[in-house]
Amino acid sequence: MATIDRPVRVLIAGGGVAALELLLALRVYASPDVEITLLTANADFAPRAMTVAEPFERGGAARYEWSQIADDQRAGLVLDRLDAVDATERIAFTHDGRRIHYDVLALATGARRVEPFAGALTFGTRADVGRDLRALVADVVVREPASVAFALPSPSSWPLPLYELALLMAGELREGCCAAAVRIVTPEVHALELFGPAAHDAIMPMLEALDIELIADAQPRELVVGGLRLADGQVIAADHVVTLAEVVARPVPGLPADRAGFIPVDLHGRVVGQTTVYAAGEVTSFPLRQGGLATQQADAVAQAIATDVGSPAPPAPFEPVLRGRLLTNGAPLYLQSRPSGQSLASTRALWSPPGKVAGRFLAPYLATARPPRIGDSALAERVPAIPDAERGECDAVTLALTLADAETRCGNTSRALQARDAAHALDPETDRHVAMADVTGPA
């Protein structure tokens, strides 16, 4: 990158889990004299992970003030919205008319969430959805016998919240002696497919114990009278359909975008074609959008920036490890998998602290009332990592191509192409050394 005068000014744009992990990780990896400013549209940091528990009184979603976090981390805070970037002059333009000069920009502005099926109760688009879920449960109880379908929109949708909602609702209905039919309708071939066979083996007895029917390899398309229509024309009977929001890009004027508007990045989170702009989390083209992965991307970005601004340590690339703490009707189930083949499921925590968003620095930070000294308390893995020699070519590329295959199988051509482009952005050599997904299937 171009020579930068000291002190280096790093601007983080965004206010979610990727932004927080970026801030914490930069304070660990980069020299202490780096000046960090956080530009965020929201005064509070409010992770979504626990929102599924709230309607069932099984825990609440906490909020944290960005002003407090920024003070802790010696960062400047600007409450405003990034509108556009001049990457040549290194200026960020904001909604309120500010021009913020930076040396390095790290984008973590996330994505938009939209309803995939008109008429379904959608989690992830608005804060008051829990109230509507309570009304839905009340209706199911009086309407007995009633049926509820929990529909996963696509193979790239993060599936855990849907399973959590189904398990928590079925458990509550069971406790109230309500005999409703509860179904999970999913394009996955097996339950919790991304987490591999251990997750399937662990979840199936839980679904069976609560009489939850799993309808797998099914592509939900729309709500029709009496239920949910699948791509093959079959209608699954349902009085109510609950689903998860789909993620839609929020492009940033002045920066490149893929065909769906997401920002293409390489394995270090560097925006393709840029030397001083990085991105992490849902704003990027990586096709699986989840908080834990967003923090892992943020860690890779922080290390790359640290190297750019003088750290002698070589930056580690993004190597995705999927971690999920699944809320169930009983003890939570910890799931962990790697694209190279690892599949673990346990009721004992597989990482510590056992945060629902398993960020290396974010989980310890949020687990304590008083923030620990960052760097002393990174997330501890309780399962040994797979040695490099036993890994495939590149886990991030493998995962992106796996999703491209799954989207193709479901006839979602544009999503399949987006996932394939993301793999190419991560590693331009992809076409040569990995058998490509055939994404020219039916529209």
Cis peptide before 384 (omega within 30 of 0): no
- In the sheet that 35-40 helps form, which strands lie side by side, from edge to edge? 75-79, 35-40, 9-13, 104-107, 277-279
Nearer to ligand FAD, 227 or 291 (CB): 291
With 0-12 / 13-18 / 19 or more C-beta atoms within 10 angstroms meaning exposed / middle / buried, residue 352 is middle
User: CB of residue 110 vs ligand FAD: minimum separation in angstroms?
Assistant: 3
Closest C-alpha to 106, from 285, 320, 261, 284: 284
CB 50 within 8 A of CB 144: no
Nearer to ligand FAD, 102 or 227 (CB): 102
Nearer to ligand FAD, 351 or 439 (CB): 351
User: CB of residue 193 vs ligand FAD: minimum separation in angstroms?
Assistant: 17
Nearer to ligand FAD, 282 or 319 (CB): 282
Name the CA radius of gyration of the chain, rounded: 22
The residues of the shown chain that bind ligand FAD, judged by CB under 6 A, are 13-19, 39-42, 48-49, 51-52, 81-82, 108-110, 123-124, 158, 160-161, 245, 250, 281-282, 289-292, 294, 356-357
Compute the distance between CA of residue 50 and CA of residue 161 in angstroms, rounded to an integer: 9
Q: Is the dihedral of CA 250, 255, 259, 264 positive or negative?
A: negative
Nearest position to ligand FAD, beta carbon: 16
Q: Count other Cβ atoms within 10 Å, centred on residue 223.
A: 20
Q: Count other Cβ atoms within 10 Å, centred on residue 37.
A: 18
User: CB of residue 419 vs ligand FAD: minimum separation in angstroms?
Assistant: 16
Compute the distance between CA of residue 357 and CA of residue 401 in angstroms, rounded to an integer: 24
Nearer to ligand FAD, 39 or 272 (CB): 39
User: CB of residue 315 vs ligand FAD: minimum separation in angstroms?
Assistant: 20
User: CB of residue 373 vs ligand FAD: minimum separation in angstroms?
Assistant: 24
Distance of CA 6 to CAs 30, 33, 310, 372, Å?
13, 8, 10, 28
Nearer to ligand FAD, 243 or 430 (CB): 243
User: CB of residue 83 vs ligand FAD: minimum separation in angstroms?
Assistant: 7
User: CB of residue 36 vs ligand FAD: minimum separation in angstroms?
Assistant: 15
Nearer to ligand FAD, 6 or 99 (CB): 99
User: CB of residue 441 vs ligand FAD: minimum separation in angstroms?
Assistant: 27
Q: What are phi and psi of 159, to 5 degrees?
A: -85, -20
Cis peptide before 153 (omega within 30 of 0): no
Nearer to ligand FAD, 48 or 409 (CB): 48
User: CB of residue 236 vs ligand FAD: minimum separation in angstroms?
Assistant: 22
Distance of CA 21 to CAs 28, 42, 87, 268, 295, Å?
11, 16, 23, 15, 6
Cβ neighbours of residue 22 closer than 8 Å, sequence gap 6 or more: 12, 106, 108, 280, 298, 301, 302
Nearer to ligand FAD, 335 or 439 (CB): 335
Q: Kindly give the pairing relationship between strand 35-40 and strand 212-215.
A: unpaired
